[in-house]
Amino acid sequence: MTKVADFDPQQLVLPLSHFIGGRYLVADEANITVLRPSDGLPLGTIGEAGEEVVDLAVRNAWQAWRESGWGQRSPRERARAMFAWADLIAKDMELARLEAVSSTRPISQVLASDLPFTAEAIRFFAELADKQGGEVAATRLDTIGMIASEPYGVVGAITPWNFPLSMASWKCGPALAAGNAIVVKPSEMTPFSTLRMAELAVLAGIPEGVFNVVNGTGGVTGAALVRHPIISKISFTGSTKTGAQIMTAAAQSGIKPVTLELGGKSPQLVFENVPDLAHAARCVASGFTANAGQACVSGTRLIVHRRLVEPLIDSIIGEVQKLRPGLTWSAASSYSPIISRAQAMGISDRVEQSVSQGAEVLFGGDFFAETGNGFFYRPTIVSSVSAQMPVVREELFGPVLTVQTFEDEEEGLALADHPTYGLAAGVHTSDIGQALRATRRIAAGTIWVNRYGRSGDMIMPTGGFRSSGIGKDLGRKAMEANLQYKSVLIDFDQR
């Protein structure tokens, strides 16, 4: 791993504003100011891609897709270019710094996890390039029925501001490995690292125009991308509200398939026979404080057996006190800022609303004063909550853990179920039967037993039940979603 050191954000050269047809396109007017979440100061500006620029990007992608032969060439050739790209990503300090400065990711975590994880996702899909074919169907013996897979052509991807590089790799990895060209729209709050990623793709030998980036707000650039007639599939990660708008727009502009990775409100369930309480405390603590709770799978609802609640909360508080908030470009920082003032105030307001409805703050509930103008919300633990309170009902996308207790398994499982979301869940128990009953019973796309959080196993798909989404990122399922299947039936014996 690269040695982590402080860096000076003033020294960074920001890429501008879009990446189309293998080169940067600097916008005539830079009308969006991007702030640094660590200190709230302006980082730089980008221009917004309107319909014309989005059209240029999509047409470039379409032309590159047909003329470069990206979709037609041997899958192993595509894989080689993607491997070279992953190798560049894994060691690119400029990419790491761009990610750290405009997103909420401290540089130490970008280098230890975001960069290697991004590179590994691309490698995983490159490996699948020639392993995801079609099938030969069981038809009459004088016919051959083939179910052949084909890329769509040009697909669109829209990504959120949390983990910008990883989220982009989950979209472009399967899209490119399957032979599509892609146009990505990153969040307007974190536009820069995805641009650098596109530049590295060209350096690695991915044909110019196969990977394009357009920047701007969701309502203008994102909406234009979804509606574009050449875009034949949309992959989106973001909030449930935006996901619904995108699904509607995709239906109205050509019945385009959508993959939607949306919000969550995931439980961490600790049974009385937990194998190791200290380990469970570490899982719960990291599960709701990683990236300051700005992770879709953040485990923000602790559901714990009544007899364990006090020692568990004490241990969780001990764990979260070890976190070090600080500038994302300082090597010593280990705790993330909230992305924006509006987002930070939304978290704090909903905690206060819940308190006014009877909730009790056991720890935190305020901002770290010593971090100046950054938006650092202290890890917060709230008890005496009910299902109707905002802290339990809504995705806060912040470091707020609610505590609910139960007496028996049935009560615990009932509390774990959320009426709206079903993204992930954690279960701590030493009884395998109980663990399996919980995995069957909880409606969630991912269930972790005696752990909380992803591993490096990219083969495990991720995605939501209920309003947490449609379809999967990662795994073979993500690859399949980037292919369309054609039935070909041939009569070969006409004697």
296 noted as active-site residue: yes
Q: Does 161 bind ligand NAD (CB under 6 A)?
A: yes
Q: Does 287 bind ligand NAD (CB under 6 A)?
A: no
CB of 234 to ligand NAD, least distance (A): 9
What dihedral do alpha carbons 369, 373, 379, 383 form, nearest 10°? 80
Q: Which is nearer to ligand NAD, 85 or 421 (CB)?
A: 421
Q: Which is nearer to ligand NAD, 175 or 423 (CB)?
A: 423
Catalytic residue among 261, 272, 395, 480: 261
Stretch that binds ligand NAD, among 18-26, 60-68, 157-165, 369-377 (CB under 6 A): 157-165
Catalytic residue among 296, 395, 409, 480: 296
Q: Which is nearer to ligand NAD, 312 or 442 (CB)?
A: 442
Q: Which is nearer to ligand NAD, 364 or 464 (CB)?
A: 464
* Residues 85-104, interacting with ligand NAD (CB under 6 A): none
CB of 325 to ligand NAD, least distance (A): 21
* Residues 174-233, interacting with ligand NAD (CB under 6 A): 185, 187-188, 217-219, 222-223, 226
Q: Does 458 bind ligand NAD (CB under 6 A)?
A: no
Token pair in block for residue 262: 């949306």
Q: Which is nearer to ligand NAD, 49 or 413 (CB)?
A: 49
CB of 445 to ligand NAD, least distance (A): 8
Q: Which is nearer to ligand NAD, 149 or 245 (CB)?
A: 245
Residue 44's DSSP bridge partners are: 34
Residue 302's DSSP bridge partners are: 268, 403
CB of 67 to ligand NAD, least distance (A): 28
CB of 188 to ligand NAD, least distance (A): 5
Q: Does 248 bind ligand NAD (CB under 6 A)?
A: no
Q: Which residues of 118-151 are buried (b: 16+ CB within 10 A; e: fewer)?
A: bbbbbbbbbebbeebeeeeeeeeeeeeeeeebeb
Q: Does 471 bind ligand NAD (CB under 6 A)?
A: no
Q: Which is nearer to ligand NAD, 271 or 421 (CB)?
A: 421
CB of 109 to ligand NAD, least distance (A): 16
CB of 156 to ligand NAD, least distance (A): 9
Evaluate whether 153 touches 120 at the Cβ level (below 8 Å).
no
Spatial separation of the C-alpha atoms in residues 464 and 54, rounded to whole Å: 29
Token pair in block for residue 238: 């973001």
Q: Does 158 bind ligand NAD (CB under 6 A)?
A: yes
Q: Does 164 bind ligand NAD (CB under 6 A)?
A: no
Cα distances (Å, whole numbers) of residue 296 to 265, 300, 383, 387, 434: 8, 10, 22, 20, 26
CB of 72 to ligand NAD, least distance (A): 30
Evaluate whether 406 touches 417 at the Cβ level (below 8 Å).
no
Residue 465 backbone phi and psi in degrees, to 5: -95, 170
Q: Does 267 bind ligand NAD (CB under 6 A)?
A: no
Residue 73, number of CB atoms within 10 A of its CB = 13
Phi-psi region of 319 (alpha: psi -120 to 50; beta: other; left: phi over 0): alpha
Spatial separation of the C-alpha atoms in residues 305 and 271, rounded to whole Å: 5
Contact residue for ligand NAD among 103, 104, 109, 162 (CB under 6 A):
162
Evaluate whether 346 touches 354 at the Cβ level (below 8 Å).
no
Question: By Cβ distance, which residue is nearest to ligand NAD?
Answer: 218
CB of 245 to ligand NAD, least distance (A): 4
Contact residue for ligand NAD among 464, 466, 467, 481 (CB under 6 A):
464
Q: Does 160 bind ligand NAD (CB under 6 A)?
A: yes
Number of residues that bind ligand NAD (CB under 6 A): 33
The full length of the chain comes to 495
CB of 324 to ligand NAD, least distance (A): 24
Q: Which is nearer to ligand NAD, 228 or 378 (CB)?
A: 228
* Residues 289-348, interacting with ligand NAD (CB under 6 A): 296
Contact residue for ligand NAD among 245, 253, 384, 420 (CB under 6 A):
245
Q: Does 420 bind ligand NAD (CB under 6 A)?
A: no
* C-alpha gyration radius of the chain: 23
Binding mask 378-407 for ligand NAD (x = CB under 6 A): -----------------x-x----------
**Catalytic annotation, residues:** 261, 296
Interface residue list for ligand NAD (CB under 6 A):
158-162, 167, 185, 187-188, 217-219, 222-223, 226, 237-239, 242, 245-246, 261-264, 296, 395, 397, 423, 462, 464, 469, 473
